Amino acid sequence: MRHHYVPQFLLKRWQDESGKVHLFGVKSGKLVSSKRTPKWTGFENDLYAIVANAIGLGSDVLERKVFSPLDNNAVKALEKLERHEALTEDDHIAWTFFMSSLRVRQPDVLDYLRQEGGQLVRRFLAEADAKTLGPGQMSSEQWFGENLPGAIDAIRLANIIPRMITHDEVTETFGSLKWWFREFAETDPPLILSDMPLHWEGGFKNPEFTIQLPIGPRRLFFGTRSEKIEQILSNIEPADLIARANRTSLASASQRVWAASDSPAQEFIEANLKSWGVNVVQFRSLAQQNLSAGIWRDKRAAVCRAAGGWFC
């Protein structure tokens, strides 16, 4: 099953008259491009799948119960924002959770949680067994393997992913910002979208903390805390702001960048190719930094701190 770590509704905003987006990537140091429908890009097969039928969880429970409803609710909230309508409390929560999910749902996060995350759980079980089990008794890991296969990994994913998305400090920070847009004319250069689309500047406690998210070739979403920063961003010349936003998207790109057309995106990317991915930090390295500091004893805190800037 295709699981989109960049939501289809966001990708669709870049589709051309043929219903396709222009996809860019780097192979052997060279820029390559192709055209895909939003359905067939920005995904990995079974990215959120879990194997836990023994405990009553279907393999697609995260997609059905978490990401699909989250994206559907975000669409409604975004449409209201674009119409400058008042948001309900549910709308506000939906857009906040969506922004929070954009880093959590990335392949490197899932890869870490499936591997090292499961190993941590097994370590905790082994430590408990060493204190409580007698000689020859079945270990907790063996018991789970025989009676509830897949439960250790599944329970971890099914619990920690929603907790990471709804983490208090992240959602309170994002939700407390002023949300607004910069709109651009058809004569201005178009925005591009990276596979890590949400960008922020400053720490969560910084009075000038700002988030940025392209939501279409002609529309850039901001969340700002400071009136000074809002004024600066509002007054930057369109071409300059678009160039800055596109360089930020390129620096945040892990594997893919999308555009509404080949030109001028291809020329811009080629001119700035050395910037591709320079700001990308893999979740694994961030998590290991926190774990090596002893934070692993609080499992939830460790994972939250490592979520690409989700510093608790």
Look at phi and psi of residue 150 and say left if phi exceeds 0, alpha if psi is from -120 to 50, else beta: left
Question: Which residues constitute the domain of residue 77?
Answer: 46-171+281-305
For residues 97 and 113, give the distance between their C-alpha atoms in angstroms, rounded to a whole number: 20
Is residue 99 a part of any domain in this protein?
yes
Task: Give pLDDT, residue 292.
Answer: 42
Is residue 221 a part of any domain in this protein?
no
Amino acid residing at 167: H
Q: Which residue has the higher pLDDT, 162 or 54?
A: 162
Is residue 272 a part of any domain in this protein?
no
Task: Give pLDDT, residue 288.
Answer: 60
Is residue 104 a part of any domain in this protein?
yes
Structural domain count of the chain:
1
Out of 116-120, 197-201, 223-227, 306-310, pick the least confident: 306-310
For residues 66 and 69, give the distance between their C-alpha atoms in angstroms, rounded to a whole number: 6
Is residue 126 a part of any domain in this protein?
yes
Is residue 206 a part of any domain in this protein?
no
How many other CB atoms are found less than 10 A from the CB of residue 112? Answer: 21
Model confidence pLDDT, tens digit, residues 219-255: 999 999 999 999 999 999 999 999 999 999 999 999 9
For residues 250 and 243, give the distance between their C-alpha atoms in angstroms, rounded to a whole number: 10
Q: Which residue has the higher pLDDT, 300 or 194?
A: 194
Element of type H or E holding 182: strand 178-183
